[in-house]
């Protein structure tokens, strides 16, 4: 059982690192403006439902320009927002005038 968990963890890590939309900066964080639902839900504290809400918010309202915009999403509070700062960052993914 322990070997299965280790193997699954390794497989998920490799899959995330190989994803073309990963767009990580030098510190290994995920760019919120290109992150997929799958990448977001891999972050501790983000459920599949919350990951979908985050991507839906981005698709409906355009790219995020500030991390505090996540507070507009049901399920994101200040504690989670502080925690997410260790895993995600915001950078324009297009030539938008953000």
Segment 64-97, tens digit of pLDDT:
999 999 999 999 999 999 999 999 999 987 765 5
Residue bearing tokens 């990963």: 22
72 within a domain of the structure (yes/no): yes
- Taking 90 as the threshold, does the pLDDT of residue 24 lie above it? no
Residue span of the structural domain in which 36 resides:
2-89
Give me the residues paired with residue 88 across strands: 30
Number of domains within the chain: 1
95 within a domain of the structure (yes/no): no
pTM of the model: 0.69
pLDDT classification of 57: cutoffs 50, 70, 90: very high
């Amino acid at each position: 059982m322990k070997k299965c968990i280790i193997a699954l963890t390794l497989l998920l890590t490799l899959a995330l690192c190989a994803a073309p939309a990963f767009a990580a900066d030098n510190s290994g964080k995920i760019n919120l403006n290109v992150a997929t639902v799958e990448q977001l839900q891999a972050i501790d504290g983000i459920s599949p439902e919350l990951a979908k809400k985050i991507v839906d918010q981005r698709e409906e309202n355009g790219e995020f320009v500030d991390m505090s915009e996540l507070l507009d999403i049901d399920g994101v509070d200040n504690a989670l927002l502080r925690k997410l700062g260790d895993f995600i960052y915001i950078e324009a993914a297009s030539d938008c005038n953000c």
